[in-house]
Structure 1
Amino acid sequence: MIGLVLILAAACDRDAPVTPPAGKPVSRAADGMVQLTDPEIVRAGIEVMTVKKEPFTFHREFPATVQANENELAEVTTLIRGRVVEVLVDVGKDVKKGERLALLDSTDLGMAEGAYLKSAARQHEAQLAFERAENLHEHRAISLAELQRREAEMKTARADAREASHRLALLGVPAQELQRLEREQTIRSDVAIRAPFAGRVIMRNITRGEVVETSRNCFTIADLSDVWVVANVPEKDVRFVRPKDRVHVMVPAYPHGLFSGTVTYISDVLDPSTRTMRVRVTVLNPDRTLKPEMFAMVRVFASPQPEALAVPLTAVQQDGTGKLLFVRRPDNRFESRRVLLGDELDGKALVLEGLHEGEDVVVKGAFAIKSEFDIHKIEPTP
C-alpha cells in the first residue's frame, strides 16, 4: 500500500508544471512577436511614440574654406624695374583706386623719358624742316624729290615720338605726367605703384631699399565685401547641390553665427583622387567678418517633403540583413518590423517602407527587445 502511494506521488510530481523562481520575468515569443511583462518593460526603460506624417527637410554639410573673390583680387606688380624708395601702405589698409602704394626710383624710366624728349625734339625739328621745304618748293628753290625726302624724315620722327610715348604709357606713366614732361622738359626717375581698384591690402612683399623686378608680386589687394566659400562635395551627395541655391555657411570662429550665401559655381568634373566636386558659394561680407583661409562648413538643404514618416535613430536596430524597428501591439506584444530607411537629419531617419502612420514604435529600450528576439531566434516581419 505504501509503495502504491509513492508511485502515484512521483507521477503527480512529473506532470505538475514547473513554477519559475520568484522575480524572474516570463517572456513569450512566437509569430514574429515578443511579449513582455509590465515589470520587464519598466526595467528595460522601453518607451514608445506614435509616428505621424509631418514635413521633413534634411540637409547635408560639407567642409569648405573661405577665399577672396578672385574677380575682386589683384596681385600688384611694377611695370618697370626699380629701387624701392618708400612704401606708403601696409597690410590691412583700405586703399582707393589709383592710390599710390609705393614709390620706386628707376633708371629705366629716366632713360625712357629722355628718349621721349629726344624723339619729340627730332619731331619738332623735322616738322620745321618740312615746312621750310614746302615754302622753298613753292618758289621753285628746291626740287620735288627734296621736298619728299623732308616729308619722309618728318613722318619718321613723328613715328619715333609716338613710339616713345607709347613706351612710357606701357611703363605706367599717366597722361598728366607726359604733359608735365612736355611742359617742363625735366626728367623724373621716380615711378609710383598704384592700386588698380578700391580694396584692402592683404599682402605686402617689398621693403625700402631693395630692387624689384617686373616679375615681383609687390602687393595683393582684395575687395572683401563679398567672399567665396569653396566646398568639396562627395560624389554621393552631388545630387543635393543645385546652381543658385541659397545655403548656410558656418565658421568655427563664430560658432553662433550663420551666414547666407548663393551657389555660384559647380564644377563639371570631379577630383579623381578625392572623388569630390568643387562648389563655390558667394557670401556677402560687408563687415569683413569672414577672412580668407578660414575653415567653414556649407549646409545645403534638399527639397522638402511635405508628408514623411521619421523615427529617432535610437529606435533603429541592425541585424545581419538590414534595419529593424519594433512596433508595439496590444497586450505588451512587440513586433519586429524590417524597414527601409532614407536620409537622416538631427538624430532622425526617414522611413521609406515598412511602417505606417499611427503605429507605436519603440524609441528607447529597443536593444532589450532585440535581445529577446535573438534568444528565441524569431525572424522579423518583412
Structure 2
Amino acid sequence: MTKYFLASLILMLGVGLGFWAARHQGLQQNPDATAVSERKLLYYRHPMNPKVTSPTPAKDDMGMDYLPVYAEDQSPPEAQPQQGKILYYRHPMGAADTSPVPKKDEMGMDYLPVYESELANAGQIQISPEKIQKLGVSTETLAKRTLTRSISALGSIQIDERHIHAVTPKFEGWVQRLYVNATGQAVKRGQPLLEVYSPELMTAQQEYLIARQGQQALRQGSAQARGTAKQLTDNALQRLHYWDIAPAQLQRLQSQEKPVDTLPLLSPVNGVVLEKPALEGMRFMPGELLFRIADLSTVWLLAEVFEQDIAEVRLGQAVQVHINAYPDQLFSGKVGFIYPTLATETRTVKVRVELPNAEGLLKPGLYGSVTLAALEDKDEQLAVPDSAVIDSGTRQVVLVQRGEGRFEPHVVKLGRQADGYREVLAGLDAGDQVVTRANFLIDAESNLKSALDGFDSHDAETGQVTHETQHGDQ
C-alpha cells in the first residue's frame, strides 16, 4: 500500500514540475504576454485616419476594425519636443471642448496641449507632390496691374434719323410720270424722281417771263422804273426756287422763254427709298408726302447696356462691332448718345453707336455684338486672375501656396472685373502665390470647407481676430 502511495506522489510531482518548466519557458519566449494583459486601453482609432477615434470597438466604412490605442503608446509629455508657447488644451477624443489649463476628461484622459506652431498651420491644406503634379496645379504671383475693362452688349442696326428726307411738293398738282417706282430702290442726289403738272407752277412761270420781258422793255426808262422791273423779275424767280424747281429747269425757262408743262422733282440725297406713296396719275396737295428717302452712308447701332455697366460708358468712346451676318469683319464706330431712360423690363439703357457705312453692308435690322473700348485706371490695382477665385455664393476664396504641398484658403473681398482679373480690395497681399489652375480639384481632393472652418474655430478659441476680418471682409 505504501509502495503504491509513494509511486503516485512521485508521478504528481513530475507532472507539476513539467507544467512549471513549460510555463516558465513560454514566458521567456514571449515576455510581453503578461504586459499585454496589463496594458491600459485608452480608445480605438480609425485604421486609415488616426484623427477619427471611438471609445468602443468599431468598424470603418470598409469593414476594417478600429485599432486599439494604449496608454503606453502615447509619448510622455516631457518627451515631446516643445513647439512654442502652449495656447490652450484640447479634448483628447476630438470633442469641441478646450481648456486654458491642464485637465482630464470624463474617462480620466489628459487634455492635449496646442502650441503656437500648430495653430500657425491650422486651416492649411496638405497635398502630396505626386498629387499636385497629377492635378496639374499652377500658380501666379500676385502683383499690381493696370486694370483694363471692356463692356459687351447686344444691339441692332437702325437708320440714322438725322439722314431721313421727305419729298413733299409746295404746290398742288398731278403726278404725270414716275421715274422711281419701287420701295427700296437706290437713288442719287439730283436724280429725277417724278414729273409733275401743276397749274400753279405754270402761272408762276408765266409771271416770271412777263416780269423779265418788262425789265427788258424798261432798259431805257428811268432808274426807278428799271429797279421796280428788276425786283419783280427776281421775286418771280425766287418763287420758283422756293418751289424746289431745279436750277437746270430754270435755265431752260430763261433760255427758251417759254413755260414748261411738266417739271421734275429731284432726289435731295443719296440713299434708298423707304416709302413711296406717289402713284402715277395721282393728285397731290401742298405738303403731301410723295417719297421718304434715307441716307445710309452712316447708320446707328442701338445697343442695350446693362445698368451696372452704364457708368463706364462715355460720349465719343470708341466701339468695335461684330455683325452676325459678317463674322469675319470688324466694324468701328463711336458712342454718339446715351439715352436718358432705363428699360425696367430688361434693366438696360440704350446707347447709340454711330457707324460709317460707305459700302452699304450695314443694313437696318441686322443684329450684332458691341464691345466698347477698354477703360483703363490711371493707378495700378492689386488684381487676382478670375480663374483663381472659388465663389461659393456666400464668400469668395483664393488658395495661396505657403510651401511645397501646402495651400491656405483666403477669404477675399473683390472689386471690379476687368480683362480676366478681379480687383482685390482685401484678403491678399502683393507677392502671394495664388493657385490659378486646378484649384477646384484641390477643393475636391481636400476638405476646403473644413480648412476654412478651421480659421473660425481656432480664432474663436484663442480670441484672435479672424483672417477674414484682418483683411476687411464683409
Flag whether TM exceeds 0.5 (same fold).
yes
Distance apart, 1:232 and its partner CA: 3.2
> Are 1:76 and 2:147 an aligned pair?
no
Distance 2:431 2:212 in 1: 97
Distance 1:35 1:299, change over 3 A: same
Select 1:344's aligned residue among 417, 442, 447: 417
Which of 126, 146, 152 lines up with 1:35 in the alignment? 126
Distance in 2, matches of 1:14 and 1:368, equals 37
Assess, with a 3 A threshold, how the Cα gap between structure 1 residues 266 and 311 changes in structure 2: closer, same or farther: same
Residues 74 and 220, structure 1, Cα contact 8 Å, conserved in 2: yes
- Matched with 2:359 is 287
- TM-score, normalised by the number of residues in structure 2: 0.59
Q: Is the 8 A contact 2:157 2:302 kept in 1?
A: yes
Structure 1 residue 271 and structure 2 residue 342: aligned? yes
Q: Could you give the per-residue CA deviations for residues 302-321 of structure 1, whole angstroms, max 9, x where no partner exists?
A: 12466444434332122464
Aligned position for 2:153: 62
The answer to whether the 8 A contact 2:150-2:419 is kept is no
SS of 2:199 mapped into structure 1: helix
Q: Deviations over 1:36-55 (max 9, x none)?
A: 33455456x26131224344
- Give 5+ residue unaligned stretches, structure 2: 1-22, 50-61, 63-117, 457-466, 469-474
Q: How does 1:294-333 map to 2 (within 5 A)?
A: 294-300=366-372, 301-304=374-377, 307-319=380-392, 321-333=394-406
CA RMSD of aligned residues (A): 4.4
CA contact (8 A) 1:73 1:220 kept: yes
1:93 offset after TM fit, Å? 3.2
| SS of residue paired to 2:342 | coil
Which runs of no fewer than 5 residues in structure 1 stay unpaired? 135-150
Q: Secondary structure at the match of 1:314?
A: helix
Correspondence 1:105 to 2:105? no
Greater mean alpha carbon deviation, residues 310-319 or residues 57-66: 310-319
Q: Percent identical across equivalent pairs?
A: 23
Alignment of 1:223-302 (within 5 A): 223-224=296-297, 226-267=298-339, 269-271=340-342, 273=344, 275-300=347-372, 301-302=374-375
Amino acid at match of 1:281: V
Structure 1's 121 and 242: CA in aligned 2 closer, same or farther, altered over 3 A?
Answer: closer
Residue 26 of structure 2 is aligned to residue 19 of structure 1: no
Stretches (4+) displaced over 6 A: 122-125, 157-164
- What does residue 87 of structure 1 align with? 179
* Equivalent residues of 1:85, 1:105 under 8 A apart: yes
- The amino acid across from 1:190 in the alignment is T
Q: 1:50, 1:360 within 8 Å by CA — same for their partners in 2?
A: yes
**TM-score, normalising length: structure 1:** 0.71
Note the C-alpha offset of 1:222.
Answer: 0.6
Contact 2:301-2:354 within 8 A present in 1 as well: yes
1:140-155 alignment runs, 5 A limit:
none
- In structure 2, relative to structure 1, the CA distance for the partners of 1:217 and 1:280 (3 Å cut) is farther
| Matched AA of 2:398 | L
What CA distance in whole angstroms lies between the structure 2 residues aligned with 1:123 and 1:183?
12
Deviations 1:330-360 (A, max 9, x none): 2522211011223334544333322223322
Is the 1:87–1:207 contact (alpha carbons within 8 Å) kept by the matching residues of 2? no
Report deviation, 1:220. 0.9
- Measure the CA separation in 2 of the matches of 1:346 and 1:119: 71
Given that residues 113 and 187 in structure 1 are in contact (C-alpha distance below 8 angstroms), is that contact kept between their aligned partners in structure 2? yes
1:61 Cα deviation from its structure 2 partner: 1.3
Partner of 1:138: none
1:210–1:221 Cα change, 3 Å:
farther
The count of residues paired between Structure 1 and Structure 2 equals 347
Cα displacement (A) at 1:328: 1.6
- Kept in 1: contact 2:187–2:273 (CA 8 A): no
1:342 & 1:171 partners in 2: Cα distance?
Answer: 63
- What letter corresponds to residue 245 of structure 1 in structure 2? Q
Deviations 1:173-207 (A, max 9, x none): 3455456557656544423221213x232535257
SS of 1:271's equivalent in the other structure is strand
Q: Contact conserved, 2:128 with 2:405, CA < 8 A, in 1?
A: yes
Query: Which residue in the other structure is 2:66 paired with?
Result: none
CA distance 1:159–1:254, shift in 2 (3 Å):
same
Give a deviation string over 1:94-128, Cα, whole Å, max 9, x none: 51x3221x22333xx13441365369759989x99
Indicate the SS of the match to 1:203.
strand
Judge conservation of contact 2:127–2:405 (CA < 8 Å) in 1.
yes
Residue of structure 1 equivalent to 2:105:
none
